[in-house]
A and B are shown apart, each in its own frame.
Chain A
Amino acid sequence: MTETFLRTIGIRKSFPGVQALNNVSIEAFPGEVLSIVGINGAGKTTFMNVLGGIVQADKGEIYIEGKLVEINNPLDAEKYGIAFVHQEMSLFPYMSIIDNMCISSFPNRIGFIDYKLAKERCESTLKRLGCNFNPRTKIQDLSPGDQQIVEIARALLGEHRRLIIFDEPTSSLSIREKTRLFEVITSLKKEGISIIFITHLLHEIFEVGDRLIAFRNGEVVGGGMIKNITYKDVISLMIGEKETDSFFGHRALKVVGDPALEVESLSRRGVLDNINFTLHKGEVLGIWGLLGSGRTELARALVGLDPIDKGRIKINQNGTIKAIRHRDAKKWIGIITENRRQDGLLLPMSVKTNISLAGLRKLISRVWPLIDTKLETELSKKLVNRLDIKITSLEQQVATLSGGNQQKVILARWLMSNPPIYIMDEPTRGLSVEAKSEVDRIIGELADSGAAILVISSDIDELMNVSGRYLVMRRGRVVAEFQAEASKSDLMAAAAGGSHEEVC
């Protein structure tokens, strides 16, 4: 066996409320592609950020070629020859390809950038990836796929690269570009460079990977040489042994009502492709898909936060189902997202103000066109009690509440305006277990009262707990529909795509 290039021992990292990494020990060898898998939130990206010096581990040791090292910032990582292709685009849109590739390592001559040399370096690296863009092109003029190529080229640029981390590099590449990338990875491997490859698309692991490590809840749960592993093994490693098939579908038994929302061939170029489905009254429809599958984009498009290119949205209005103008969708659909702090709540304001915000029109006094504060207090109090929000007074600042209670304030707000349809995108992200089940209970109650609910969650157990039916999305398409009795591996397999033959 060749000597390890990188070895980590007992890496731990916690963020407020979450143990993101727990005792992670791995090894990476030169000339080998190590694939790391795990569902969203398993800790893969955090771990890579530790290696890349973007976050610091709370505890643990990192050895490079047997020597204990400290990686405190991205420059340290660079020094040890670790390069990182980030999951989300980390490019500067208004700057040229050269600037983007060389930003942390401009070749300079007496303090001035040697552009000629920089350009040559960029060109030769891009050529290696089979591209011949003019390196002076600005990033904003490139397609997303081309931008991804630039991002990869940046990681390849340095001459002393020893380890390259690819965090979902293929998400916006076309087949052709992907093939090319895999060829490059193979050739890098031959040069003795270690590669860590993170992906959600499992078939890619079988295409390029040599060895596999699975993460779950911030821990390494298993792995092995890829040639000895089957597709099914990978899935069960990712989602865990307990196939809680007995747990599913308390909602499935419920009788669902008339259609509340019909979506016809909804498309948004590059993001959503021909989405069709119907959502019924009293139903909780779960959308399952991995990161980048288009689930959040679907939610945003449905409520009109993002434009759509094609398709119709029909909504049941007093018994008749009618197509609506896209920009009016917000009138019928309430949206709850994971970003409570960003787009949901006015943090410095009181609980009451936050609750009444969406329903102010209802609160206008009959006598004069002012807000009836007595009614406002009364209704807010009622909702606080109904949802069991833990507050000291209605005037308490929302910023001081826990995440779960904040989420309930948002729910209360929507209950105030009472839309017939709800879209919940990761409604329980970051909440404690108790708060999660509380929110899930409220979702159930809402459905029982006749609301139609679309739930998106990365937590497959939770999703299966609340939903009565599932749609699985991958790459902007609805690829499968399952009833409540589907199993976890059905959902996982459909979402990860690829070699279905090996699953069944």
Chain B
Amino acid sequence: MEIEIVRKKQHLDVRYFIVSQGFVIAMVLCFIVFSIIARNFMTLKNMVRILHTEAPLLILVPGLAMVIMAGKIDISVGSIAFLSSGIGVLLLTHYNIPSYVVFPLIVVIGFILGALNGLLVVVLKITPFIATMGTMFMLRGVALQLTNSMVLSIPKELQRLGYASVGTIYIDVIIAAIVLLLAYFIHVRTPFGRHIMAIGNEANVAEQLGVKVPKITFLAFVLSGLFASLGGIFVLFQVGAVTPTMGQGYEFNAIALCIIGGISLFGGEGSILPGLLLGGITLGVIENGLNMVGASPYAYPFVKGGVIFIAMYADSIKRVLRKTKIAIPEEPFTTTVGLDHKKSSVRSNK
């Protein structure tokens, strides 16, 4: 027996389109406005610069994004970046350990610190926000102690790496692209990535279906730490030194980037590509554009906050619209035997 499937007509819902694609629209508008006001905005050089500024953050964020998509949060990424880079630079300058050992080691430290977060959340069952807030403070404390709260420069030849470029494109932009692509494939094309989404959607159901929820959650935190330290390395290259404020506020910039890129803080929704890239570009465009039009430097945090509000608001409208869109079965009240109210009450009076 062939059964015909009645398809709902998918007509273009303008409101839904605007809300769901709102961010792209807003970004395009920003581009247009900035390029009209500031003559130097819409130049290739400036575009490259925007990407260059955002590159370390884009390298740092994919791990965190996976944690968020699993419905958890990690606010220790800035401190992880600081501590791992701090140790790295100390080894480099004070102990003369060669850089080809130090940089992999920094990533290993990030891995270990991520595992620490994972342990706190999965084994000790501490709420992710609290657990990572704890490590955020602690790791920063350790790093300040180790570096004596001083600025530690890296050797000149390494500093150059931060501004090295292939043609017009900076190396860190290329690295960011590779990292994002890698994370994208992990996210959409591996069972691990899908399990992350499953946990974010409905952890209980995932458990029932045999997803190893604790293991996957742990791994997500490990990845978050790992990517954080990797991002830290590129901050190091750009700044040329470890400073006592390194990575401060990075966690929230990274979360903002995720939100703007359409990753739901409730978990289970969002994408690495194009999500994170869009988020990164949006942040960069606003910062750079405000700079170009000569706005007060304090305008940027204000506008960033506004953008986050708009992103969250669009997200909540999207949810509401979608709820009303969900179809209800065509024949909701069918019973196979036509027993209606009258009949049965007659019977019951017998």
Q: Give the complex CA separation of A334 and B327 in angstroms.
A: 32
Give 1 or 0 for each of B1-15: 1 = CB within 8 Å of chain A CB. 111010000000000
Which residues of B have CB within 8 Å of A111?
A: 190
User: CB of A247 within 8 A of chain B?
Assistant: no
Q: Give the complex CA separation of A111 and B344 in angstroms.
A: 59
CB of A468, distance to nearest CB on chain B (Å):
15
Q: Give the complex CA separation of A498 and B335 in angstroms.
A: 8
Asked whether B334 lies within 8 Å of A175 as measured between CB atoms, the reply is yes
User: CB of B194 within 8 A of chain A?
Assistant: yes
User: CB of A379 within 8 A of chain B?
Assistant: no
Give 1 or 0 for each of A173-186: 1 = CB within 8 Å of chain B CB. 11110101001000
Contact of B191 among A78, A108, A145 (CB under 8 A): A108
Asked whether A476 lies within 8 Å of B332 as measured between CB atoms, the reply is yes
CB of B107, distance to nearest CB on chain A (Å):
20
Interface size class of A (residues with CB under 8 A): 35 or more
> Which A residues between 168 and 199 are near B, CB-CB below 8 angstroms?
172-176, 178, 180, 183
Which residues of B have CB within 8 Å of A477?
A: 333, 341
Which residues of B have CB within 8 Å of A368?
A: none
- Count how many chain B residues have C-beta atoms less than 8 Å from C-beta atoms of the other chain: 46
Asked whether A104 lies within 8 Å of B332 as measured between CB atoms, the reply is no
Asked whether A269 lies within 8 Å of B328 as measured between CB atoms, the reply is yes
Which residues of B have CB within 8 Å of A143?
A: 326-330
User: CB of B198 within 8 A of chain A?
Assistant: yes
Asked whether B330 lies within 8 Å of A92 as measured between CB atoms, the reply is no
Asked whether A99 lies within 8 Å of B333 as measured between CB atoms, the reply is no
Asked whether B202 lies within 8 Å of A92 as measured between CB atoms, the reply is yes
Which residues of A have CB within 8 Å of B200?
A: 94
Which residues of A have CB within 8 Å of B194?
A: 95, 99, 103, 106, 113
Interface residues of A (CB under 8 A from B): 52, 54, 73-75, 78, 86, 90-95, 99, 103-104, 106, 108, 111-113, 115, 130-133, 140-145, 172-176, 178, 180, 183, 201, 203, 269-271, 273, 472, 474-482, 486, 490, 494, 497-500, 504
Asked whether A73 lies within 8 Å of B210 as measured between CB atoms, the reply is yes
Given A130-B2, A174-B330, A175-B336, answer yes or no on A494-B190 (Cβ-Cβ < 8 Å): no
Q: Give the complex CA separation of A482 and B185 in angstroms.
A: 61
- List 9 tightest A-B contacts by C-beta distance, closest first: A92-B201, A270-B328, A130-B3, A74-B210, A480-B344, A143-B327, A90-B205, A75-B210, A145-B329
Q: Give the complex CA separation of A117 and B129 in angstroms.
A: 39
15 CB-based A-B contacts, threshold 8 Å: A75-B210, A90-B205, A93-B201, A94-B197, A103-B206, A104-B211, A106-B191, A112-B190, A131-B5, A145-B330, A174-B330, A174-B334, A178-B336, A478-B341, A497-B337
Which residues of B have CB within 8 Å of A99?
A: 194, 197-198
Which residues of A have CB within 8 Å of B168?
A: none
Which residues of A have CB within 8 Å of B162?
A: none
CB of A133, distance to nearest CB on chain B (Å):
7
Q: Give the dominant DSSP class at B's interface.
A: loop
Q: Give the complex CA separation of A300 and B137 in angstroms.
A: 45
**In this complex, what residue of A is CB-closest to B185?**
A112
Given A174-B334, A475-B333, A482-B348, answer yes or no on A94-B268 (Cβ-Cβ < 8 Å): yes
Q: Give the complex CA separation of A132 and B337 in angstroms.
A: 29
CB of A71, distance to nearest CB on chain B (Å):
12
User: CB of B350 within 8 A of chain A?
Assistant: yes
Given A95-B201, A99-B194, A270-B329, answer yes or no on A479-B347 (Cβ-Cβ < 8 Å): no
A86, A95, A486 interface centre (most CB from chain B within 10 Å): A95
User: CB of B43 within 8 A of chain A?
Assistant: no
Contact of B339 among A92, A103, A479 (CB under 8 A): A479
Give 1 or 0 for each of B251-265: 1 = CB within 8 Å of chain A CB. 000000000000000
User: CB of B208 within 8 A of chain A?
Assistant: yes
CB of A42, distance to nearest CB on chain B (Å):
21
Q: Give the complex CA separation of A478 and B322 in angstroms.
A: 30
Please name 6 further chain A to chain B contacts, defined as beta carbons within 8 Å, in addition to the given A95-B268, A172-B329, A174-B330, sorted by A numbering.
A74-B208, A94-B197, A95-B198, A103-B206, A178-B336, A479-B341
